[in-house]
Structure 1
């Protein structure tokens, strides 16, 4: 049941519009930015609950800004998620908007392709660390 977890860094690679956009800095009224990264909902499900836990008023479909002060917390939680996947201790996704069946399905997908899920997290962590050096907030542009 391996799934292709993937982060896209070129908006021209995207097919359709069902992607979450991670924009370094504040939302400027424009989507599909050249300096953004993108992922589909399945890839985002690897850590969407982490975002929900630290971003007040988080909504899968809204555009929200994670303040610079919360970036270190995000990085810590992403590293923790990576360890959970590696150790196969990822038993509970805490997303409130998902049913128990959806949560179980997400955990199965992640554990079926641990290597790819961990690579996504490593790529995302490196990207956020680079963004952090510029003292920028992180805008998460939902579907």
Structure 2
């Protein structure tokens, strides 16, 4: 049996369906505190959908951090579910494949890290960041001090 890949597009459809369902039930069928509770659940589900379907890439001086969660400038409000940290000195190059649906990180030891980004809410921002990071790695701006 094949392993099923994580498909954020399907997750988006399912989560959106539940948000609409809970909002309609809460708004049309319930009264009083039950209405407020159901609309609160719909709001929380909407927020959790946005959190799980955003993706961030952060380039620090010595490592590239890739993960799921909300992007915030001060990083305190980010909710991270999956994080990969790759040292910059181990990266040989970055590539985008299939019209920006995945990132390939070529490592100096010959291995590759493939990260699917198709279906995320901020895909164009990710592509722009990958090109910026790729340019800076090629120019040597992120070289670590050995």
Question: TM-score surpassing 0.5?
Answer: no
Taking structure 1 as the reference length, what is the TM-score of the superposition?
A: 0.31
**Structure whose CA Rg is larger:** 2
Taking structure 2 as the reference length, what is the TM-score of the superposition?
A: 0.30
